[in-house]
Amino acid sequence: MSLLHHRSCRYGFMPPYVLERVAAHGTERLRDVARHTLTTDQTFRDRRGPGIAETLPTPLERSIPGQPARYIHSADQLLELPGRLVRAEGQEAIGDPAVDEAYRWLGATYRFFWEVFARDAIDGRGMPLIGTVHYGQDYDNAFWNGAQMVFGDGDGELFHRFTASLDVVAHELAHGVTEREAGLVYAYQSGALNESFSDVFGSLVRQHYLNRTAAQADWLIGADLLTERVNGRAMRSLAEPGTAYDDPVLGHDPQPGHMRDYVETQADNGGVHINSGIPNHAFYLVAMALGGYAWQAPGRIWYDTLLDSRLTADCDFATFARLTEDNADRRFGRHSREVGAVRDAWRGVGVLS
């Protein structure tokens, strides 16, 4: 399968290998839920693209710079998008937790990109933030489809509703930003970088919302997603890839944090959710070396690199690493501690020698 094909893949939060594990080791109900989620993901995988936004029956006014334009819909447990409009920008909470969480966390993510990077929504020009909740029956995933974010309610046994986690909501919105700016092909190392951008920005949005420094942050993705029945802390850890969970049903977190453990696989679009642990950990090392708020110097370097015209759609880890080092040089100077921290981080994960 060519890399070009993977441009049309939907960006789902839940790695397919987790759902496959549940389908093999869960209870009868959980096996059914996992299989249904996998089937749904496969069926709707290619139904995405910016053109979807043109067909939505909602008043899609662009936002005033600095103010989001949020439109939250309910699919009412069906597999239809965008669904029924239930809360628009400026309207009061309606008492449905999924609706109100989606509204709140999309707002927090918008504020992060606006306040930190002066970016006005996903496309930088006030694109409406469209979300759909209550997608499908017990749907165990969330995704960006090229025009909007979609959130399942979870199965209630392993996973809570996907709107419960700020970093999951931010992760999906960040896929839209990456798609608009770099169009990173969703396969192999470029796909892992795509996933890593979403994890990095998802973590930064949470840190920004909670006003936590790099040292205070938990560096976890999806911590609010897991129920108390799961033996785990989150779905992924930027600080310690491979340690987020170790559960009889979910299995063991397979993410590597170093190139010596890089996973060669055809599954998961060439390991996009697995090998993203390597660039994730590199960002963590930069943030911890520099201290303070991670969205400042480290986040700025990563965002500058996302906008860099030299970032090609099929970029690999080594090329990306050199671009981050060069962008640190451009912003902070060749002999700055920022450049040293970036270089040391990529050496620390085995991408650069």
Pairwise CA distance, residues 254 & 263, whole Å: 9
Query: Do 254 and 204 form a contact (C-beta atoms < 8 A)?
Result: no
CA distances to 53, 132, 309 from 148, in Å = 8, 8, 25
Residue 143 bridge partners (DSSP) = 12, 150
Q: What is the 3-state composition of the chain as percent helix, strand, coil, each rounded to the nearest 5?
A: 45, 10, 45
Could you report how far apart the first and last alpha carbons of the chain are, in Å? 31
Q: Which two tokens stand for residue 330?
A: 């451009």
Burial class (CB in 10 A: 0-12, 13-18, 19+), 45: middle
Please tell me which residue in 89, 273, 325, 338 is annotated as part of the active site: 273
Pairwise CA distance, residues 138 & 329, whole Å: 48
Phi, psi of 109 (to 5 degrees): -70, -40
Q: Is 136 left (phi over 0), alpha (psi -120 to 50) or beta?
A: left
**6 classed as catalytic:** no
Please tell me which residue in 89, 101, 157, 172 is annotated as part of the active site: 172
**273 classed as catalytic:** yes
Catalogue the active-site residues: 172, 273
